[in-house]
Amino acid sequence: MKFKIHRCNCRKLWSVQTRKTKFTACSVLLDGSWSTELKPERKYNPKGFVTTHGKQDIIVNPTIEVVEKFEKIAKLIYDKKNVNFNVNAGESLFFAEDGTCYILKKLM
């Protein structure tokens, strides 16, 4: 099942949804493959999502110890005006409480 993750700026939370369910969290760790999906024809936000297919890869409100097992490589940036992301796919992401999304690399 496909999971879409996006920022709900009105409530300052991350939203994770499927076709049937939806939940929110302050922070989310995605330890698995992901890709981006764009919907430029939509009238309302969000127009860009991060998608993944494994619920077991999603950790809601992870502890600091869990996040410290990863190295922050770069930020995943969504350009709202041009409706695109700076990176289209990868392996791990951290959606932080402040609204920033980091591309991660697992430490050995």
pLDDT at position 46, please? 63
Asked if the model's pLDDT at residue 82 lies above 90, the reply is: no
In terms of Cα–Cα distance, which of 107, 106, 11 is closest to 57?
106
Q: Is the CB of residue 6 less than 8 Å from the CB of residue 15?
A: yes
pLDDT at position 18, please? 92
Measured between alpha carbons, how far is 34 from 78 in angstroms, rounded to an integer? Answer: 15
Beta-ladder partners of 90: 34
Give the lowest-confidence range in 10-14, 42-46, 47-51, 81-85: 42-46
Could you give the percent of the chain with pLDDT greater than 90? 76
What does the block give as tokens for 18?
């499927």
Rounded alpha-carbon distances, angstroms, from residue 57 to 46, 54, 83, 89, 100: 22, 5, 26, 15, 19
pTM: 0.91
